[in-house]
Amino acid sequence: MTTPAHILIVDDDDSIRSLLKEYLDGQGYRTSTAADGRALKEQLRQGPVDLIVLDLMLPGEDGFSLCHWIRSERDIPVIMLTARTHSTDRIRGLELGADDYVAKPFEPRELVARIRGVLRRYHTNDRRTDIVRTYSFAKWELALDKRQLLSPDGVLVPLAASEFQLLTIFLEHPHMVLTRDQLIEHCHGREAGPFDRSIDVRVSQLRHRLGDSGREPRLIKTVRSAGYILATDVVRHY
């Protein structure tokens, strides 16, 4: 029997926590809840969590700060909940490593669909390690089993789960133009909206990790009106 995924719901609103816990339990997930950052960290000390649903507006440490902390400490996908409508808040969440976001108010069914999509993509990347163990490119190495990026100088570069997914997609398709729509579908499991620039944020993050964020990037190049291309050879190690 497959063990149900463990979802941690972090929100200071009692009614939202109760609603989501009841709904996700009914969908076959195992759930825990936390009202703030202290309770979140205590839950993580108690045992493994497969995904965190994290509200942006929390007492004490806010969702931005907690997302940054999670990324520095754990390899756990994060879906942010936000009542803010301004795009800069969503972009900041993505820059800090959130894997997806859902705007309040929302239908619980929408959140479940996002959870399923993030978990599916996360575990699909795990299954790829049975085929390819490491990618080498431009003197960089990405170890899929450990989810580790090693620089040409031998320095371990931390990657958020979303950055790992995006880099893996590029490494699977070197010298191929990938449109924004294709990248969003791979990374978020949804179609792009007319003003969706989340993938541009992801690419900018990844370029920064690779030291490729100058005015003329060498590795991940922009193809005007088309998308992005990984402009280097890739070697697969099995």
Task: Give the mean pLDDT of 69-75.
Answer: 81
Task: Give the mean pLDDT of 148-171.
Answer: 90
- Residue 124: is its pLDDT beyond 70? no
What pLDDT does residue 137 have?
96
189: left (phi over 0), alpha (psi -120 to 50) or beta: left
**The sheet that has 134-137: what strands, in order across it?**
156-157, 148-150, 140-143, 134-137, 235-237
- Residue 196: is its pLDDT beyond 70? no
In angstroms, the Cα distances linking 44 to 76, 86, 168 are 10, 30, 27
Which of 125-139, 154-168, 213-227 has the least mean pLDDT?
125-139
Residues 82-118: tens digit of each pLDDT: 876 566 666 777 777 788 888 888 888 889 998 988 8
What pLDDT does residue 193 have?
47
Residues 32-56: tens digit of each pLDDT: 999 999 999 999 988 889 999 999 8
Tell me the pairing of strands 6-10 and 51-55.
parallel
Which of 40-54, 144-158, 179-193 has the least mean pLDDT?
179-193
What pLDDT does residue 192 have?
43
What pLDDT does residue 85 have?
59
- Residue 1: is its pLDDT beyond 60? no
Q: Report the mean per-residue pLDDT for the chain.
A: 84
Residue with the larger pLDDT of the pair 193 and 132: 132
Q: Is the dihedral of CA 222, 224, 227, 231 positive or negative?
A: negative
Q: What are the structural domains of the chain?
A: 6-126 (3.40.50.2300), 129-237 (1.10.10.10)
- From the list 213, 205, 217, 100, the residue with the least C-alpha distance to 159 is 205
